[in-house]
Amino acid sequence: MRFKSLFLGVFVLFSILGCSENKIDSKPTVNIWHWMTDRDPAFQELAKKYESLYGVKINFELYAPSDAYSQKIRAAAQGTNLPDIFGILGEKRDFASFIKAGHILDITSYMEANNNKWKNSFFPKALAVNEFSKGNSYGIEPGIFGVPIDIMTIQMVYNKKLLGQLGLNPNRPPKTLQDFLDIGGKIRDAGMQGLVSGWGEVWMVDCLANDYAFNIMGKDKVLATIRGEVPYTDEDWIKVLSVFKQMQESGVLAQGLVTMINKSAEQIFANEKAVFAFNGSWCVNVYKGMNPDLEYGAMLPPEASGRYPMSIWGGAGSSFMVNARSKNKEEAVKFLVWLTDQDQQAYLAQTTNNLPANKNSLSKIPEVLAQFARGMDYATHPNVWGVSEFSLVIEALDRGIQSIIIGEKTPEQVAGEVQKVKEREMAKRRAK
């Protein structure tokens, strides 16, 4: 009898515990995968806050470095076990492939609800990166497929102290290419280093080349080149490539720039060994960590021509997408709405020194970050052009620019080689 009572007691106890456990499990959990090491503590903090407010558990999982994250996302996509929310690293083409495979939810209706309330809170250029317009070349139905978490611009920064030591006004960085080139001699004489950047990793070379292409020939001609209507041997492209030759000859580029990794470039600039750097707005956080006393400002790349305005790469720095196959879609969208709200965006900007995607959260950011934010007026990005260049052509162009900088090839030779690759790739496309 005593044994029976004990057995029943244990059974009841386990039943109660089991029920309470079930209750905890019934709370939805939104899983998010990301690669942003610097933002992870802030994300975790916001996740706790959201759970305490709405009872929904948010599980941020960090997978770094970004290369490893990128592979993980692709593998998960193949196995259809993507988390509720994730980010995509890569070009617009990759983004389109994810959408075509049915992995990403079209969030246009959420964005446009309540008279576009959510949509209007973002910088339009940040949203454009996540948008596919009507008649896009990727064959995607028009819509918005991602939520920008922060924005970035890639510009030049200058060290105020070193500029002063060169006898220049520390608050008036060079505006034209000629002014910039003229500083080269002074930099050389003073034994300083000029421009540093991660040009060993090539994509940043491509970025500056595009800036000058927009400045020298305008957006329409750049896009016409991508469509194959203007050859890379065109006079304007030669001018773009010649900018790098002029920079090298003037001494304004740092030694060993072509094999420099961005981390080294950031270290050199933060240690006040280089006068200029070409870097993204994320550098504000990096420089703060390396040298909190560094006095610097952000500037647009000096103009090579007055015909067209200078453009810089900018837009959404990182974005989150909602898994179209997730059973927690609604909860995921709700969380993203909350995450991109003014207060949360201001918190992220203050703690991580990244530019907020919400345009109403700019009031409390440091001055240098505000300078980067002002660059958004000049921002463009390959992901919003609607057409994309063949990756082998981009590779040939980047490698060619490296060859120009080390004096191995002339701008004309590089232009000829790039055009050959372009013609080969276009022939391949036609054959398909």
Residues that bind other proteins (CB under 8 A): 67, 70, 74, 77-78, 90-91, 93-94, 97-98, 100-101, 103, 193, 196, 198-202, 254-261, 264, 267-268, 273-274, 391-392, 394-395, 399-400, 402-403, 406, 408, 424
Long-range contacts of 407-415, Cβ-Cβ distance < 8 Å, separation of 24 or more: 407/248, 410/245, 411/238, 411/241, 411/242, 411/244, 411/245, 412/233, 412/238, 414/241, 415/232, 415/233, 415/234, 415/237, 415/238, 415/241
Please, what is the minimum distance in Å from the beta carbon of residue 81 to other proteins? 14
DSSP annotation of 303 reads B
- Least Cβ distance, residue 426 to other proteins (angstroms): 14
**In the complex, what is the shortest distance from the CB of residue 389 to other proteins, in angstroms, rounded to a whole number?**
11
Least Å distance, CB 273 to other proteins, is: 6
Q: Residue 288 CB, nearest distance to other proteins (Å)?
A: 19
Before 65, cis peptide (omega within 30)?
yes
CB–CB of 329/30 below 8 Å?
A: no
Q: How many CA atoms does the CB half-sphere of 325 hold within 13 Å? A: 13
Mapping DSSP to helix (H, G, I), strand (E, B) and coil, where does residue 106 land?
coil
Question: Which residue lies nearer to other proteins by CB, 90 or 366?
Answer: 90
Q: Give whichever of 196 and 365 is closer to other proteins, judged by the CB atom.
A: 196
Is the Cβ of residue 337 or residue 394 nearer to other proteins in the bound state? 394
C-beta of 17 vs 406, nearer to other proteins: 406
Least distance to other proteins, CB of residue 394, Å? 8
Question: In angstroms, how far is the first alpha carbon of the chain from the final one?
Answer: 82
C-alpha to C-alpha distance for 421 and 409, rounded to whole angstroms: 16
For residue 364, give the DSSP letter: G
Residue with tokens 């009841």: 12
Nearer to other proteins by C-beta: 119 or 381?
Answer: 381
Cβ neighbours of residue 337 closer than 8 Å, sequence gap 6 or more = 110, 118
C-alpha–C-alpha distance, residues 119 and 61, integer Å: 27
Judged by CB, which is closer to other proteins: 182, or 395? 395
Nearer to other proteins (CB atom), residue 6 or residue 101: 101
Rg (the chain; Cα; Å): 25
Q: Name the minimum Å distance from CB 418 to other proteins.
A: 13
Note the Cα 51 to chain centre separation in Å.
Answer: 29
Q: How far is the CB of 145 from other proteins (least distance, A)?
A: 14
Nearer to other proteins, 194 or 375 (CB): 194
